[in-house]
């Protein structure tokens, strides 16, 4: 019943492995990793294979890139496994089947892991080509692949547990990424900064025990939730009872009438709309956040604040105030993960709820509808992101090094706010173009990753492996689309002391960024691009949706 006769496992495997996207994903995954190895291959015509260590930086980069790619893909296969049943209204039928809850959970879990395992082992021939260069042992490769397998096992179960707690796949995906991404970045940094026997022993002993400690209690808790589901029949409930949810909420509680909750969740309207008011804006502001409960909102706030506290002390008060851009990049990363959620389903959710035709028959113009959706989504995203900006303002008061850098602090705030506008606008544009909320969210993340993360990654890669290439000197000019590069380029005048490390000695050299004013061109680029994107989105909506 658990493996050979598990109908859930068989069905999910057939769906996941027979789709065209499985083959396209495998092709794209191997193409990216193969291109990384090809470009970073040593340029020397002759290499002494007996004494060479040329493969070590190449293999380290290969596994770090592979680990981050697999970590980003894990929630896409597992976070919608159970919420998809709720959205398709097959959740009750699944629980009423002869399968035990543990068998259902195991089938969903293994089915989400198999495509990722196929991706991992398909990359084995690429890394084997690097071993003859010297510097990396076969046992290190085995330890790296074992770490990849253990990591996706834990990440897959974490995503599956999030899927059991939420009603929508979008919420499950966001919380999964917030939980998984910090651990993935920490493990990738550990792999890059360690080597030899220490790394081998850690991956062979500590990582399996940590995976076991996470997976066993989490599997039992999730299976118990399926055995006694508190949300049974939730697919027939359109709006969550706010009073009941507030009474049962643990830790953080959201109150409409209290500051700062009323910034993104105003109180319910108890009077009529004013003449000329936009009803779509009023509805989105007052009801949409609470339509499926506030669990996702509360979890997002608590996780982000828990991560912000240690990063705040490390960036602003510990050892070197020159690390301020790294905290700003954390805030931008948080907005990148959370911001699209509140706009990626703005129009697709109307189709899914079969209310788009009713919306289009109103007297509102396409601009009024899109403007209301854009403002309401950006307001929630900006308020949540601003919760993480108060350490930046606090540092300007408490840290003397920042008293002479107030313009730089203002630039950091501008970069974060502009990045939040970009994430919301791109997500709304994808919601207008796409037909389902999940595809809209996935496309939003893809476009934002290309704009925000790819330029600094390519610049780091070129500086590390192609320092003499003429393209390397031009890479800062290609980073104007990335707020990460913009934050690193803001000039800081920090007085160095013997008790502080120079910012230029960090692994990722910020001095290379500060040599070119990326932040100015970043601001100018998006000040021009955002109105063009809004105009194009309005034109597409009027041309393709208004006539449907």
Q: How far apart are CA 357 and CA 99, in angstroms?
A: 40
Contact in structure between 33 and 126 (CB atoms under 8 Å): yes
Contact in structure between 432 and 370 (CB atoms under 8 Å): yes
Q: In terms of pTM, does the model score above 0.75?
A: yes
277: left (phi over 0), alpha (psi -120 to 50) or beta: beta
Contact in structure between 385 and 308 (CB atoms under 8 Å): no
H-assigned helices in 288-402 = 295-312, 324-338, 348-352, 356-360, 366-386, 390-398
- Give the Cβ contact number of residue 93 at 10 Å: 10
Q: What is the pLDDT of residue 421?
A: 95
Structure tokens that stand for 246 in this block: 């507030």
- Give the Cβ contact number of residue 480 at 10 Å: 21
Kindly give the confidence (pLDDT) of every residue in the chain, 548 residues in length, as a single tens digit, with 9 standing for 90 and above: 667 777 888 888 777 777 777 788 888 888 888 887 777 776 665 554 444 555 677 777 778 888 888 888 888 888 888 888 888 888 888 888 888 888 888 889 888 888 888 888 888 888 777 776 666 677 778 888 888 899 899 999 999 999 988 888 888 888 898 889 888 888 888 877 777 777 788 888 888 899 999 999 999 999 988 888 776 654 444 455 666 666 666 667 777 777 777 777 777 777 777 777 878 877 777 765 666 667 777 888 888 888 888 877 776 665 566 778 888 999 999 999 988 988 888 888 888 888 888 888 888 888 888 888 999 889 888 988 988 888 888 888 877 777 788 888 889 999 999 999 999 999 999 998 888 888 898 899 999 999 999 888 888 878 777 777 777 777 777 888 999 999 988 887 765 433 343 433 333 445 555 556 888 899 999 999 999 999 998 888 887 765 44
- State the burial class of residue 438 (Cβ atoms within 10 Å of its Cβ: 0-12, 13-18, 19+): buried
Q: Is the N-terminal amide bond of 513 cis, ω within 30° of 0?
A: no
Contact in structure between 356 and 273 (CB atoms under 8 Å): no
Q: Which of 119, 149, 134 is nearest to 58 (CA)?
A: 134
Structure tokens that stand for 520 in this block: 């100015």
Number of C-alpha atoms within 13 angstroms, CB side, residue 253?
12
Q: What is the pLDDT of residue 430?
A: 93
Q: How far apart are CA 457 and CA 485, in angstroms?
A: 10
Residue keyed to tokens 């995954």:
29
Q: What is the pLDDT of residue 504?
A: 35
Q: What is the pLDDT of residue 74?
A: 87
How far is CA 191 from its chain centroid? 21
Q: What is the pLDDT of residue 354?
A: 82
Q: What is the pLDDT of residue 527?
A: 93
What is the torsional sign of CA 219, 221, 225, 231? negative
Q: How far apart are CA 508 and CA 504, in angstroms?
A: 8
Q: Is the N-terminal amide bond of 362 cis, ω within 30° of 0?
A: no
State the Rg of the chain over Cα: 25
Structure tokens that stand for 396 in this block: 């300007």
Q: What is the pLDDT of residue 44?
A: 61
Q: What is the pLDDT of residue 451?
A: 93
Structure tokens that stand for 311 in this block: 């990063």
Q: Which of 453, 496, 491, 458 is nearest to 476 (CA)?
A: 458
Structure tokens that stand for 487 in this block: 């934050």
Contact in structure between 221 and 161 (CB atoms under 8 Å): yes
Q: Which helix (H) or strand (E) holds 413?
A: helix 406-433
Structure tokens that stand for 545 in this block: 């949706």
Contact in structure between 437 and 348 (CB atoms under 8 Å): yes
């Amino acid at each position: 019943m658990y493996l050979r006769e598990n109908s859930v496992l068989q069905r999910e495997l057939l769906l996941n492995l027979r789709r065209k996207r499985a083959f396209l994903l495998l092709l794209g995954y191997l193409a990216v990793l193969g291109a990384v190895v090809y470009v970073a291959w040593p340029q020397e015509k002759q290499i002494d294979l007996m004494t060479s260590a040329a493969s070590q930086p190449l293999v380290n980069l290969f596994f770090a890139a592979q680990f981050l790619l697999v970590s980003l893909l894990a929630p896409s296969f597992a976070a919608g496994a159970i919420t998809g049943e709720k959205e398709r209204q097959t959740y009750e039928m699944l629980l009423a089947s002869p399968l035990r809850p543990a068998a259902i959970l195991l089938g969903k879990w293994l089915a989400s892991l198999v495509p990722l395992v196929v991706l991992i082992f398909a990359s084995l021939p690429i890394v084997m080509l690097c071993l003859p260069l010297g510097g990396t042992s076969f046992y290190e490769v085995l330890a790296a692949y074992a770490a990849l397998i253990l990591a996706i096992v834990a990440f897959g179960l974490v995503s599956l547990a999030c899927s059991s707690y939420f009603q929508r796949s979008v919420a499950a995906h966001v919380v999964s990424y917030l939980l998984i991404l910090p651990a993935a970045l920490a493990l990738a940094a550990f792999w890059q900064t360690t080597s030899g026997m220490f790394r081998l022993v850690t991956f062979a002993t500590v990582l399996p025990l940590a995976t076991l400690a996470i997976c066993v209690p989490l599997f039992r808790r999730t299976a118990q939730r399926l055995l006694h589901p508190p949300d049974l029949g939730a697919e027939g409930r359109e709006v969550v009872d706010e009073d009941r949810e507030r009474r049962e909420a643990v830790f953080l509680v959201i109150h409409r009438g209290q500051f700062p909750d009323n910034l993104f969740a105003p109180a319910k309207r108890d009077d009529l709309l004013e003449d000329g008011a936009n009803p779509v804006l009023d509805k989105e502001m007052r009801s949409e956040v609470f339509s499926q409960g506030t669990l996702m909102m509360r979890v997002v706030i608590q996780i982000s604040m828990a991560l912000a506290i240690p990063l705040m002390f490390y960036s602003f008060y510990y050892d070197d105030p020159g690390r301020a851009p790294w905290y700003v990049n954390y805030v931008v990363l948080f907005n990148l993960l959370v911001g699209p959620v509140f706009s990626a389903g703005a129009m697709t959710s109307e189709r899914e709820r079969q209310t788009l035709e009713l919306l289009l028959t109103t007297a509102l113009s396409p601009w009024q509808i899109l403007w209301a959706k854009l403002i309401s989504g950006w307001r929630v995203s900006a308020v949540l992101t601003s919760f993480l900006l108060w350490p930046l303002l606090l540092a300007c008061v408490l840290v003397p090094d920042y008293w002479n850098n107030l313009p730089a602090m203002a630039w950091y705030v501008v970069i974060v706010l502009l990045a939040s506008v970009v994430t919301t606008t791109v997500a709304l544009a994808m919601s207008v173009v796409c037909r389902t909320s999940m595809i809209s969210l996935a496309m939003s993340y893809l476009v934002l990753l290309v704009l925000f993360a790819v330029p600094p990654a390519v610049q780091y890669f070129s500086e590390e492996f192609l320092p003499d290439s003429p393209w390397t000197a031009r890479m800062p000019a290609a980073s104007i689309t990335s707020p990460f590069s913009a934050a690193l380029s803001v000039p800081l005048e920090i007085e160095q002391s013997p008790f502080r490390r120079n910012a230029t000695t960090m692994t990722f050299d910020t001095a290379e960024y500060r040599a070119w004013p990326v932040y100015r061109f970043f601001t100018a680029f998006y000040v021009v691009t955002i109105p063009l994107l809004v105009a194009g989105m309005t034109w597409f909506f009027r041309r393709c949706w208004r006539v449907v």
